Chains A and B, each alone.
Chain A
Amino acid sequence: MPERQRHGASIGQPLTRRDGHAKITGAARYSADVKPEGLLHAVMAVSSVARGRVAHLDVAAAEAHPGVVAVMTPRNAPALAQSPDLKDHPFAFRLDLLQNDGVRYANQPIAVVIAETLEAATEGAALLAPRYESERVSVALGAGEVFRPETIGAGSATDEGSGDLAAGMAAAETRIEATYDTAAQYHNALEPHASVAAWDGDRLTLYTPTQALWIAKGRLAGLFGIPPENIHVVCHYLGGGFGSKGFIAAPQILGIMAAKLVGRPVKLVTRREQMFGPVGHRAATRQTLKLGAARDGTLTALDHHTLTLTSRHDDFVEPSGILSRHLYAAGAIATTHAVSRADIGTPIFMRAPGEASGSVAVESALDELALELDLDPLEIRLRNYAEVEPITHRPFSSKALRECYAQGATRFGWASRPRQPRQMRDADGLLVGWGLGTATYPAGMMQGEARATIRADGTALIETAAHDMGQGAWTVLAQIGADGLGLPITQVELRIGDSNLPNGGLAGGSTGTATSGTAVDNAARAAIAALADLAVNDRASPLYGAGNAGVTAADGRLARRDDPARSEAFGEILARAGRTSVEAKGQGAGDPATRKAYAMHAHGAVYAEVKVDPDLGQIRVTRLVGAFAAGRIINPQLVRSQYYGGMIWGVSLALHEHAVLDPRSGRVMNGNLAEYHIPVNADVPAMEAILVEEHDPHVNPLGIKGVGEIGITGTAGAIANAVWHATGVRVRDIPITLDRLLG
């Protein structure tokens, strides 16, 4: 068997993004940049009521506007082969595709205007001037009937726990109970959802940003009643996804329907204000934490209850309690979830779904307990360090969290932190506070496939319908492929982002590199094996007869393992065999038995410094140090960028993001990027990410855990704790706003 080159020239190198040049020169074409011949522009009209029906649209006024070609409403929208409300797949969310005049949330699409120019389509949509029959709405957390959902997140158990909670509470010497609210958040990738769709008979070409090309293809095949192979989805670049582009959303499909209606290519781009409804969000939560501890700080009981919201018409439940099943050792654990329905768009996965909102509550509660016990926040976390996964008692496949705590603490200077709040000021008189949060995210895998082709010129091609939304797939998959093939990365061509390529699965849940990387590695390895077969059975080859000893691939040559001097270039082997190429496929998926035997998570520790104006309450994060352990690091530069991005999302969760709904109308009143605040550059000070070494022999052969989401977890709690430490005020309404600190 050929030996895989695990520590080759590429893996572990901080290579510059391979797609970087295209992105810094403007050459990278995103979906909305594509312009087929004869393109028309489509603009959605969306509902301003949150519940009811559309009673009237002034279609005539829109049609009369110069340049308008067609107005698509439920009256003339192309028929679909299946109901968009059909849930035939765990990830099939109900879609509003103009099949009736009903309105189920504000900003729901109610019509599409198609025109020769964007300006005409935009004004056409405004001229529809909808009238509604509206019903009373309910959008507040807990306002509707509260029920226990069947599952949470991506099919996880609603309630899970271990031990006798009541006994654990009774045995505790110190108890705290606190309720934390987290706000509704909208993904707001800077690239709005867009589609450029062109039909040729019953064949569809679609340019659209998606984190799951093959899932999109399957959904579209069902909706339009055509074979999946008739659908070609192209997405070389996503302008951010964060979960909102995991599953193709209504606006993208409406563009396809519009193209069908008018028989010409159509571009539909969601307007920013339309991103607050039909493309998912993270629902608000109210989490109650009850902790009981012995005098030494060890948890005797951890009770984490989450109340959240879902839409009236579909189910997605933010799984905020899940992390309490994995994170801290406790004598007894209960994690439960409840939900009520509201007249809102269906929530969906959003960067670290569950873990992000759950982490800020758990980390805050733990610090509240530490205060009661007069313990250092790091100490209480170490005293509850989970040596095995708490509920299942499974060993961790690897867990370098202790090293994360230690390296982060040293770098940050944590040891000099005074225990009491409001003890530190800077030279300008600003209050200074330090906080800590533990980061955690599951090291999951999905399923994917890749193809590797070794070509006669000595180069190779790696193909998989994987997705790069900024995490670096264009680079790291080539790195993995290069090492698997024993080639310099310059000799490896990578093709991703196209549904005609082998199924690349889903870029989500921090599984992309683990899944696609494993598929690429396996494909590369199989291609080398096929190439080796040609050589070792060929008497003319210096490798003839090496079958038992094996061959290794390096620098574009196969060499005998027992005699590396006997080697042959890839091209020579193929040429003599009369082949132009040799190709092989590889699968990427977790090993079920190993995944059952071990708990698999990435971990980290985030230390935050904030400054707070003692009189005015304005808050600024001034320093962040995160130390993360996530198995093998394929590209430290890109991984560091992922951690930074996650940590900035943590800043945003803790201090900024907050969709404000008017409870009377159900409308988002800050549905724009001026008032729905995400951090700007000036909100992000010096930050540091320490890549803590961790070797994981179990997660997958390459030892890869995901890094895309873990940075948010820990960070938001660290900031909330730092704000308390600066001010002495514990704010349990997240995001923390300055009015809470005015005293």
Chain B
Amino acid sequence: MSFPITLTVNGTRRSVVLEDARVTLLDLLRERLDLTGAKKGCDRGQCGACTILLDGVRVNACLALAVSHDGASITTIEGLAVGEALHPVQAAFLEHDGFQCGFCTPGQILSAVGLIQEGQTGGDPERVREGMSGNLCRCGAYAGITEAVLTAHAALTGPDVLPGRQLAEDAA
């Protein structure tokens, strides 16, 4: 049994014939489309390293069966920058040293992009921390991650609350 599906991956239409219905989106990206940015940390929806944007929202690619997502649009870390121009979330992660080993980073960044688009956090660091809690970082880069998301949030949505000030109050 084979299953032809078509996906739009990072803006490009890709037609794939799945020889096996068991293939998850994560394994499709990593093993068949050579997009290895999304990482497999647990394969069970418990770490967030595989986070991608699926039809614009962040999800765990490891738990999504590819065959069920025929026609979907996917953004991975490889598709986030526009040419040489980094996405504001990427730039903020670099600026705030929001990572160490880098293994969880693609998932963190996609999760942050999704979180900001969801529009529920504002400039509140506590809501950002809660909203980013689906992405484990074993190196412990959470402080930089939170700062990076707040910076990127301000850049992407305008300064409803200055994140620097919020963080300072939070840390005081």
Contact = CB atoms under 8 A, between A and B. Distances in A.
- Most chain B Cβ neighbours within 10 Å, of A33, A191, A681, A688: A681
A26 B129 contact: no
A67 to B, nearest CB: 8
A684 B139 contact: no
Interface stretch (A232-240, A361-369, A371-379, A438-446): A232-240
B100 to A, nearest CB: 3
Contact of A644 (B86, B103, B140): B140
Contact of A470 (B27, B78, B101, B143): B101
A77 interface: no
Interface stretch (A414-422, A451-459, A513-521, A670-678): A670-678
Contacts of B86: 24-25
Interface in A409-427: none
B102 A237 contact: yes
Nearest to B81: A25
Contact of A686 (B30, B144, B171): B171
A702 to B, nearest CB: 22
Contact of B140 (A41, A192, A684): A684
Contacts of A25: 37, 77-78, 80-81, 86, 90
A325 B137 CA distance: 33
Contacts of B151: none
Given A190-B39, A190-B136, A239-B39, A469 B142 contact: no
Given A190-B101, A682-B129, A686-B171, A672 B44 contact: yes
Nearest to A24: B90
B135 to A, nearest CB: 7
B100 A24 contact: no
Interface residues of A, number: 65
A645 B101 CA distance: 11
Interface string A641-681: 11011111100000000000000000000001110001111
A638 B93 CA distance: 13
A23 B143 contact: no
For chain B, give the interface size range. Answer: 35 or more
A118 B31 contact: yes
A23 B145 CA distance: 14
B102 to A, nearest CB: 3
B144 to A, nearest CB: 7
Contact of B102 (A16, A41, A239, A687): A239
A563 interface: no
Contacts, number: 187
Contacts of B170: 685-686
A20 interface: yes
Given A35-B34, A118-B31, A119-B20, A681 B139 contact: no
Interface in B113-137: 126, 128-130, 132-137
Interface string B38-70: 111111101101000000000000000000000
B143 A684 contact: yes
A27 B102 CA distance: 11
A26 B106 contact: yes
A16 B139 CA distance: 17
A646 B140 contact: yes
Contacts of B31: 35, 41, 117-118
A16 B97 contact: yes
- Most chain A Cβ neighbours within 10 Å, of B41, B126, B135, B170: B41
B122 to A, nearest CB: 16
A211 to B, nearest CB: 11
B101 A191 contact: yes
A406 interface: no
Interface in A13-50: 16-17, 19-30, 32-33, 35, 41
B138 interface: yes
B36 A33 contact: yes
Given A24-B93, A637-B97, A672-B46, A188 B140 contact: no
Interface in A546-591: none
Interface string A624-642: 0000000000000110111
A673 B140 contact: no
A26 B132 contact: no
B135 A681 contact: yes
A612 to B, nearest CB: 18
Contacts of A649: 140
A737 B84 CA distance: 48
A271 interface: yes
A677 B52 CA distance: 23
A242 interface: yes
Nearest to B31: A118
Contact of A33 (B30, B41, B144): B30
List the 5 closest A-B pairs by CB distance, nearest first. A26-B37, A239-B103, A470-B100, A470-B101, A648-B140
Interface of A: 16-17, 19-30, 32-33, 35, 41, 117-120, 123, 188-192, 237-240, 242, 269, 271-272, 469-472, 623, 637-638, 640-642, 644-649, 672-674, 678-682, 684-688
Given A24-B99, A118-B31, A679-B140, 10 more contacts: A26-B77, A27-B78, A33-B30, A190-B136, A190-B137, A469-B100, A642-B100, A678-B138, A681-B129, A684-B142
15 contacts: A24-B86, A26-B36, A27-B78, A30-B39, A239-B102, A272-B44, A272-B47, A469-B101, A471-B100, A644-B144, A647-B140, A673-B44, A679-B140, A684-B140, A684-B142
